[in-house]
Amino acid sequence: MIIVMKHGAGQREIEAVEKVLRDHQLGVHISNGSAATIIGVIGDKSALAGVNLEMMDGVDKCVPIMHSYKLASREICPEGRTVSVGDAVIGGKRLAMMAGPCAVESEEQIMEAAAGVKKAGAQFLRGGAYKPRTSPYAFQGMEDEGFKMLRQAADATGLKVVSEVIAEDQMDTAAKYCDMFQIGARNMQNFRLLKAVGRSGVPVLLKRGIASTIEEWLDAAEYIMSEGNYNVVLCERGIRTFETATRNTLDISAVPVIKERSCLPIIVDPSHAAGKSAYIQSLSLAAAACGADGLIIEVHPCPKCAMSDAKQQLTPAQYAELFAEVRRVAQAVGREV
Ligand code: PEP
Ligand code: MN
């Protein structure tokens, strides 16, 4: 449920409502919008039986939230959230541009990738150190060594690190090297992992599951947020459909749907959606045009030598060209890169 305060309700009135909620063992989430303050009630609202909140001073109305996710809903924060990662803000006017190889493969490779994506204008360096692969015989990543290399390359170039975590017991080590944790598509419903990244407090990039509905995806975000970590950014990376021309089908509709239903920023990963480098630029432009808050794109100094996802990675030069085109579309829709 949300409690909408009257326009001009004062701090005393807001605090009085908050006290009633806390006295009933409920969690409180306050969103100070330009039109009104909205108080989100977190927990079992049957605890409020017999309490008439609408009679309290300053309260306009109480509105139930009809979805299973609450903190991730649009109702609780109608203005939308931004997520800060150091001095980078995701969800504001500027698109978050994340790029780098599928996997960290060597010091030289990640340094070259970092230098290339930085030069093009990216703010975040991506790269998998832990690779949950479909086949157990495929390259599984350089693990903690990979994290160290990522951190070094990012520090040398002034980028932020976003990298995947795959296990609950990794949080402390991973937090030493990453500015943002990625939860991969295969782990979107690994609920213990979601809770662990929630407790870590580190900003999270939550990829959509390969065959997950938007509602399941928002429920996954809710797992993270219910542990007190509101720094969640959603990432549409394509879903499995009957179509085989692309690796997955980019569900571009997810962008406006998420904007309507959720307060969380959403970025798009055209690389894993398309699976082919030739389609990445078109899909990136579509994402920028329809309101995505950023892009995460695979870039490798030598795509054809890549140990994973070779077909979909761009060269740094191709990325620079894409970046310039995205800038033009972003400007056309009132955003910037
Ligand atoms: C990745 O980002 O390299 C990756 C494995 O993505 P996804 O989890 O979306 O498949
Ligand atoms: Mn990949």
Residue-wise pLDDT tens digits, 216-269: 999 999 999 999 999 999 999 999 999 999 999 999 999 999 999 999 999 999
Report the amino acid identity of residue 327. Answer: R
pLDDT digits (tens, 9 = 90+) for 268-323: 999 999 999 999 999 999 999 999 999 999 999 999 999 999 999 999 999 999 99
pLDDT digits (tens, 9 = 90+) for 142-171: 999 999 999 999 999 999 999 999 999 999
Question: What's the gap in Å between 273 CA and the centre of ligand 1?
Answer: 10
Bigger pLDDT: 66 vs 175:
175
Predicted TM-score (pTM) of the model is 0.96
- Give the residue, by CA position, lying nearest to ligand 1 atom 5: 184
**Pocket lining: 185 vs ligand 1, CB cutoff 6 Å:** yes
**Pocket lining: 184 vs ligand 1, CB cutoff 6 Å:** yes
40 has a pLDDT exceeding 90: yes
Q: For residue 102, which atom of ligand 1 is closest to its CA? A: 3
What token pair was written down for 190? 């690994």
258 in the Ramachandran plot: left (φ > 0), alpha (ψ -120 to 50) or beta? alpha
75 has a pLDDT exceeding 90: yes
Give me the percent of the chain exceeding a pLDDT of 90. Answer: 95
**Pocket lining: 300 vs ligand 1, CB cutoff 6 Å:** no
Q: For residue 235, which atom of ligand 1 is closest to its CA? A: 9
Distance from C-alpha of 261 to C-alpha of 204, rounded to nearest angstrom? 19
Q: Which residues contact 95 (CB under 8 A, 6 or more apart)?
A: 288, 292, 293, 294, 295, 326, 330, 335, 336, 337
List the domains of the chain with CATH numbers: 2-63 (3.30.70.1140), 83-332 (3.20.20.70)
**Pocket lining: 149 vs ligand 1, CB cutoff 6 Å:** no
Q: Which residues contact 251 (CB under 8 A, 6 or more apart)?
A: 208, 236, 238, 239
23 has a pLDDT exceeding 90: yes
Distance from C-alpha of 141 to C-alpha of 103, rounded to nearest angstrom? 6
Distance from C-alpha of 59 to C-alpha of 275, rounded to nearest angstrom? 51
Query: Relative to the alpha carbon of 299, which ligand is closest?
Result: 2
